[in-house]
Amino acid sequence: MQSSLQSPAGSTDGGHRSQAWKGQAAHAAGLLLLAAASEAAAAATAAPAAILRIAIASAALHQAVVALFWRSELFGGHISAQLGPRGFGAFGALFFILFALRVGVVLWASAAIPATLEAPSVLRYGTLAVAGALSLWTVVSVFTCFGVKRALGADHFFPEYRSMPLVRRGPFRITPNAMYTFGTLLFLLPGLLFDSTAGLAAGVIHYCAVWLHYLFTERPDFAAIYGHSPRESAAAYRAVGSAQGGVVLYTHSQCVRCPAAAELLEQLSVPHRRVMVDRLPPEERRSAKHLLTEGIAKQAPRYPSLLLPDGSLLRGFDEAEWRARLTQIGKPN
């Protein structure tokens, strides 16, 4: 089956339109159900309905903007066509403004109506400590392991990001959805800190809304880009790196055997993509090295390395082995 990495760019205009709206009716329906649940929660607790409505509205606005930018770029390249290289930067700025608005709503609700939760102190502070630690761990890992640009959905804008391996370090070793599972626990912290029913209810709204975004926007986009869901086996995790062109050759500018490896690929007429690891931006370079060392600490990458369509990795250039494996590509099973 042809990789769906190529389908967004190669679809018809009608296909673009249908893909661009995929999941968004369910997304809106989920937000409406969440709004109805928040009205019921307001009636049963000390949380003012107006505050929860503002929380729902800020979540819906943020997630609608993200879906609009992501889908417009992924299925048609409209953002880049209008704004050029500034398109992703404009999206990032708007993303953080609207994210700050969401956090601000929760902080406002928590500080304005404190001391209403009536939860045991041990339970409240224990939950606050665990949620805070998990959220902080994830945020730090986004900067050190994952990269802010990737977290913002750079793979919707830049094809080179689609060939990077999934990160399997820090909280991402536990779940590929660490940003949703742990990172967005951030929304619960103000309510717990201020002992605020309204603040905690607003935080829960935002936490649940983020999962609606994942289910109905990000997960379908991931499938369109990579051809499978984010929850994948280790073999599929490796195969992300080779999905774009079938074969990926990882080289280094100081590698003396890399030219011979590239020449072999050309000689055998194997379609491939070449990645010079030491010329990548820092966050992508870390991810590439993690792939090339297969996640083993203190193991140095070997150049050249070859990632094959079945996810196997050939570390170091052994011409006989490479020739044998490469000649099998394209042969029927």
| One domain, residues 140 and 251 | no
Q: What is the pLDDT of residue 230?
A: 55
Which of 186, 205, 232 is where one domain is finished?
232
Which domain does 74 fall in, by range? 7-232
| 333 within a domain of the structure (yes/no) | no
In this structure, what token pair is assigned to residue 99?
């994210």
Please, how many CA atoms are within 13 Å of residue 89, restricted to the half-sphere of its CB? 4
Residues 228 and 243 in one domain: no
Residue 220: exposure state from Cβ atoms within 10 A (0-12, 13-18, ≥19): middle
Q: In this structure, are 245 and 228 located in the same domain?
A: no
Q: Is residue 2 part of a domain?
A: no
pLDDT by position in tens, the chain (length 333): 223 333 354 344 455 567 788 999 999 999 999 999 999 989 888 789 999 999 999 999 999 999 999 999 999 999 999 999 899 999 999 999 999 999 999 999 999 999 999 899 999 999 999 999 999 999 999 988 888 999 999 999 988 787 676 677 789 888 888 999 999 999 999 999 999 999 999 999 999 999 999 999 999 998 888 765 555 433 334 434 444 447 889 999 889 999 999 999 989 888 888 888 888 877 677 777 777 876 555 578 889 999 888 777 888 999 999 999 888 875 544
Indicate left, alpha or beta for 311 from its phi (over 0: left) and psi (-120 to 50: alpha).
left
Of 211, 232, 253, the one marking the end of a domain is 232
Burial-class residue 1 by CB neighbours within 10 Å (0-12, 13-18, 19+): exposed
Task: Check whether residue 263 and residue 154 sit in a common domain.
Answer: no
Q: How far apart are CA 80 and CA 205, in angstroms?
A: 33
Residue 128 contacts by C-beta under 8 Å, 6 or more apart in sequence? 189, 192, 193
Q: State the amino acid at position 90 in one-letter form.
A: A
Judge if 167 and 82 occupy the same domain.
yes
Q: What CATH number corresponds to the domain at position 269?
A: 3.40.30.10
Q: What are the strands of the beta sheet with 248-251, ordered from one edge?
A: 273-276, 248-251, 305-307, 313-315
Q: Are residues 122 and 71 in the same domain?
A: yes
Please indicate, yes or no, if residue 151 is contained in any of the structural domains. yes
295 and 176 inside one domain = no
Assign residue 35 a region: left if phi > 0, alpha if psi is -120 to 50, beta otherwise?
alpha
**Shared domain check, 301 and 219:** no
Domain boundary among 197, 232, 267: 232
Per-residue HEC secondary structure of 146-181 comes to HCHHHHCCHHHCCHHHHHCCCCCCHHHHCCCCHHHH
Q: Is residue 114 part of a domain?
A: yes
Whether 125 and 143 map to the same domain: the answer is: yes
Geometric angle at alpha carbon 235, from 9 and 176, rounded to 5° = 75
- Residue 283: inside a domain, yes or no? yes
Total domains, the chain: 2
pLDDT of res. 240? 41
Residue 227: predicted pLDDT: 63
Considering the domain architecture, whether residues 30 and 50 belong to the same structural domain is answered as: yes
Within 10 A of 282 (CB to CB), how many other CB atoms are there? 8
For residues 295 and 310, membership in a common domain is answered with yes
The answer to whether residue 317 is domain-embedded is: yes
CA 170/CA 150 separation, integer angstroms:
16
Within a 10 A sphere around the Cβ of 250, how many other Cβ atoms? Answer: 28
The answer to whether residues 146 and 256 belong to one domain is no
**Residue 258 belongs to a domain:** yes
DSSP string, 250-269: EE-TT-SSHHHHHHHHHHTT
Question: For position 238, what pLDDT does the model report?
Answer: 43
Q: Residue 27: inside a domain, yes or no?
A: yes
